[in-house]
Amino acid sequence: MATSVTLPALGESVTEGTVTRWLKQPGDEVAVDEPLLEISTDKVDTEIPSPIAGTLQEIKVAEDETVEVGAELAIIGEAGEASAGDGAEQAAQAAAAEEPVPEGQPERPAQPEPATQEQPTGAAADQEPAAAPAGATEQQAPAGSGEGTPVTLPALGESVTEGTVTRWLKQPGDEVAVDEPLLEISTDKVDTEIPSPIAGTLQEIKVAEDETVEVGAELAVIGGGAAAAPSQPEAGAQPETSAPAEPEPAQEPAQEPAPQQPAAQPAPQQPAPQPSGQPAPQAQPQEPARSQAGESTAASAQPAAAEQTAPSRASGDGTPYVTPLVRKLATEHGVDLSTVQGSGVGGRIRKQDVLAAAEAAKAATAQPEPAPAPSAEDAGLPGEPSPLRGTRQKMSRIRKAIATHMVESLATSAQLTTVIEADVTRIARLRERAKADFEAREGVKLSFMPFFAKAAVEALKVYPVVNASVEGEEIVYHETENLGIAVDTERGLMVPVLKNAGDLNLGGLARQIADLAERTRTNNLKPDDITGGTFTLTNTGSRGALFDTPILNQPQVGMLGTGAVVKRPVIVTDDTGADSIAIRSMVYLALTYDHRIVDGADAARYLNAVKKRLEAGKFEAELGL
């Protein structure tokens, strides 16, 4: 019976997705939960797994084609169900239980060789409905009856009521540690991982991948290891067929999967040549029908394990499959993918693996780098030419979303930018005095950013018109200062939110800003981390820019941009009124505001309040000086 593979709901606000790559082709054998294709949305890139074990019969959506949620992507039939004749034969076998097994088998060797190679597995698969239910009942009972701790979907934010399981990082039978990630959850806000509440063995998975459940729903059961082994094969594998050899012939003729099973299961290498001719299918009727069903089920369940999916995900040269995004990232960071150990399903190399390898390479070459560096710096060269030169690429989903939001923001509000200059020499001197002790005490480096954030939120309390939003014909003045922090990531610009920033001291601001930035770059934000902002701070000076004119993050009415802190000669007036020229650390503060409710005078008053706080530099108490 053919099964349709559809595009699942990947979040409340996600209505469509783009097929970026097919990992399987028509005729390929697939296991339960084995990735079929990659889908890209404006929120996340993910893989769509196979809902059943069988053969990919037809691809309905081509690569780079965008379809809506619920659209049919492909058709998968049971193993050996490659034609209408096969389907009729399977229907007859299902109706006659085990009797059709010896009757159907002799007819298959007379068929052409490709059909003969696929049908032994088909025969075994046809008998699964007869043998699997009993086995499944026996095996699942211990998993649920043992003393286990349920893993539930936690509250991921006030506005988040449900989540979709996008990937299980552990399988039944796997040992897990406390707080070790079990699965990935996708919501309409962000992707996140659900950790294990206890150390133990994953006994049972309650929610399949791509299934959407409400907050509080039971996702899995974790307990001792006694019941873990029986619950691992989801299709009900028979315990007496732990190392089957016969199911492999169905995968051998598929060319690409041919080397996969021998690599994962060295024992069955001897019967591997059997599928090349017709005698192998003829020999299978000698085995008991029940044994064939158990072996086929075990074969379809085993590829879900990490060590077996690794070869199935390999490319033609034996290296793990790598997405174009990861290849591009590796090129930009100069990372040799052949040296990277993947942490994804089947050993797949993920973005985090490349970033970790890049950081490790930087640390390893920290000492040799200074030798060649002077020549490059002296020459003033910007770097190696980018491989993007002369190419044309489609915009990513996240880039499309950013583009849409930016244009909509400019069309929504009347935006204007006012710039003021501040002398932060006292803060610069405080940093030099306190940065070593501060880092030892707080665990993060002391940059200018916490000082800017502190001055900004304190001024918001005095001038709430800048910390407001427009709702219809009403102005909402927010009672808390939820500070958005603009962060540059590989995927694009993101703005996580530091909640109740007005209640934090300098150390608290520094820690939380560093934590938000790190989790944003590593894609570990929670849904609440990117919602609820009332005002945004963007550090445009981190790349040397003096100032810019930020675009508002709707529905906010204010965004403060801080430029680069630079030393230059400035006229300074002392207490007696005498002027002198001194070298001072200066910074431009640019405030973009919504002119519908914020007047120019309001913006200037707010900026001057920020300037006054920064120039006073009275932060000794918070720095422990």
> What letter represents residue 534's amino acid?
T
Nearest to 237 by CA among 146, 148, 147, 124: 124
CB 42 within 8 A of CB 401: yes
SS3 breakdown of the chain: % helix, strand, coil, rounded to 5?
40, 25, 40
Give how far the C-alpha of residue 203 lies from the chain's centroid of Cα atoms, to the nearest Å: 25
Separation between Cα atoms, residue 610 and residue 604, nearest integer Å: 10
CB 249 within 8 A of CB 271: yes
> What letter represents residue 524's amino acid?
N
Separation between Cα atoms, residue 5 and residue 253, nearest integer Å: 24
**Active-site residue flag, 378:** no
DSSP result, 224-237: -STTHHHHS-TT--
Nearest to 248 by CA among 268, 234, 278: 268
Nearest to 490 by CA among 615, 270, 325: 325
Separation between Cα atoms, residue 436 and residue 432, nearest integer Å: 8
**Active-site residue flag, 595:** yes
Separation between Cα atoms, residue 524 and residue 527, nearest integer Å: 10
Q: At 30, give phi and psi (nearest 5°).
A: -130, 150
Separation between Cα atoms, residue 157 and residue 188, nearest integer Å: 11
Helix axes 100-107, 113-145, angle to 10 degrees: 150
CB 64 within 8 A of CB 20: yes
Separation between Cα atoms, residue 258 and residue 273, nearest integer Å: 10
| Number of neighbours of residue 615 by Cβ within 10 angstroms | 15
To the nearest 10°, the Cα dihedral for 610, 479, 187, 402? -40
> What letter represents residue 576's amino acid?
T
CB 534 within 8 A of CB 194: no
Q: Show the CA angle centred on residue 302, arms to residues 300 and 307, nearest 5°.
A: 140
Cα distances (Å, whole numbers) of residue 515 to 281, 491, 497, 521, 529: 60, 18, 11, 10, 11
* 511 CB-contact burial (10 Å; exposed 0-12 / middle 13-18 / buried 19+): middle
CB 77 within 8 A of CB 1: yes
Separation between Cα atoms, residue 453 and residue 31, nearest integer Å: 52
Annotated active-site residue in 423, 437, 595, 602: 595
Separation between Cα atoms, residue 427 and residue 613, nearest integer Å: 10
| β-bridge pairing 483-485 and 35-40 | unpaired
Q: Is 456 left (phi over 0), alpha (psi -120 to 50) or beta?
A: alpha
The upper half-sphere exposure of residue 555, i.e. CA atoms within 13 Å in the direction of its Cβ, equals: 12
- Using DSSP's 3-state secondary structure scheme, residue 54 falls into strand
Q: At 191, give phi and psi (nearest 5°).
A: -95, 145
Annotated active-site residue in 28, 64, 599, 602: 599
Q: List residues with catalytic annotation.
A: 595, 599
